């Protein structure tokens, strides 16, 4: 499977907001090289941003769910039922990307705590299609940038809960996982 955006510049041209969020200037380097260079330089926030936009929506949601589990050491689904429900709804949409699962994730995410990474996972799945505004005269489809934006927020919020040297190792693993998904897609 070819990488969705062959160069960093092509990604930033498609998603200008990613260029604003990432401190690195858009360049013509291959996307995966650019991503790995960000991670090697420990520019993890920029690498997370780039990866979230690099992946197609379904892969991005799957990646963000896997990151949440890795960053929170599989404690992501522990605790409050609303937290596990949000994560499980996002994962259910990845497995069955239909409107029923997407809308269920959106309902759960919309009722969640905006400071919780799990809420953003559900929102990422919920915004992966359908209508953003369903006014009968002027329906507005969900903008393409909403899913990667929510994935980015979910991963960065999760990363903030990890302290010390463990944070860099877990984020590096997340970036490697995202690069693998960008190359191979979902199994």
DSSP for 116-141, please give it. -HHHHHHHHHHTSSSEEE--SSS-EE
What is the reported pLDDT for 90? 97
pLDDT digits (tens, 9 = 90+) for 146-177: 999 999 999 999 999 998 889 999 999 999 99
Q: Is 100 helix (H, G, I), strand (E, B) or coil?
A: helix
Note whether residue 2 is domain-resident: no
DSSP for 11-56, please give it. HHHH-HHHHHHSSSPP-SSBHHHHHHHHHHTT-HHHHHHHHHHHS-
**Averaged over 7-15, what is the pLDDT?**
93
Q: Is the separation of the CB atoms in 94 and 131 below 8 Å?
A: no
pLDDT digits (tens, 9 = 90+) for 23-55: 666 688 999 999 999 999 999 999 999 999 999
Note whether residue 66 is domain-resident: yes
Which of 18-32, 54-68, 91-105 has the lowest average pLDDT? 18-32
Note whether residue 134 is domain-resident: yes
Note whether residue 65 is domain-resident: yes
**Averaged over 10-18, what is the pLDDT?**
91
Note whether residue 75 is domain-resident: yes
Rounded-to-integer distance, Cα 89 and Cα 122, Å: 6
Average pLDDT, the chain: 89
How many separate domains does the chain show? 1
Q: Does the CA dihedral 39-115-104-149 come out positive or negative? A: negative
11 φ, ψ to 5°?
-65, -50
Note whether residue 145 is domain-resident: yes
Band of pLDDT at residue 95, cut at 50, 70 and 90: very high
Q: Is 93 helix (H, G, I), strand (E, B) or coil?
A: helix
Between strands 131-133 and 140-141, the pairing is antiparallel
Note whether residue 156 is domain-resident: yes
Residue 159 is part of which domain span? 8-184
Note whether residue 3 is domain-resident: no
């Amino acid at each position: 499977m070819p990488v969705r955006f062959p160069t960093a510049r092509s990604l930033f041209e498609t998603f200008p907001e990613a260029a604003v969020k990432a401190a690195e200037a858009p360049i013509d380097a291959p996307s995966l090289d650019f991503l790995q260079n960000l991670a090697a330089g420990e520019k993890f926030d920029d690498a997370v941003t780039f990866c979230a936009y690099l992946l197609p929506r379904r892969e991005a949601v799957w990646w963000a769910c896997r990151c949440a589990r890795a960053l929170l050491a599989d404690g992501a689904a522990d605790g409050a039922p609303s937290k596990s429900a949000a994560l499980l709804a996002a994962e259910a949409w990845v497995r069955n990307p239909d409107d029923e699962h997407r809308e269920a994730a959106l309902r759960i995410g919309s009722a969640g705590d905006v400071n919780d990474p799990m809420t953003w996972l559900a929102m990422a799945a919920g915004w992966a299609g359908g209508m953003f505004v369903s006014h009968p005269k002027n329906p507005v489809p969900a903008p393409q940038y909403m899913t990667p934006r929510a994935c980015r927020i979910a991963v960065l919020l999760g990363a903030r809960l990890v302290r010390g040297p463990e944070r860099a190792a877990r984020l590096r693993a997340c970036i490697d996982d995202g690069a693998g998904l960008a190359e191979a897609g979902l199994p």
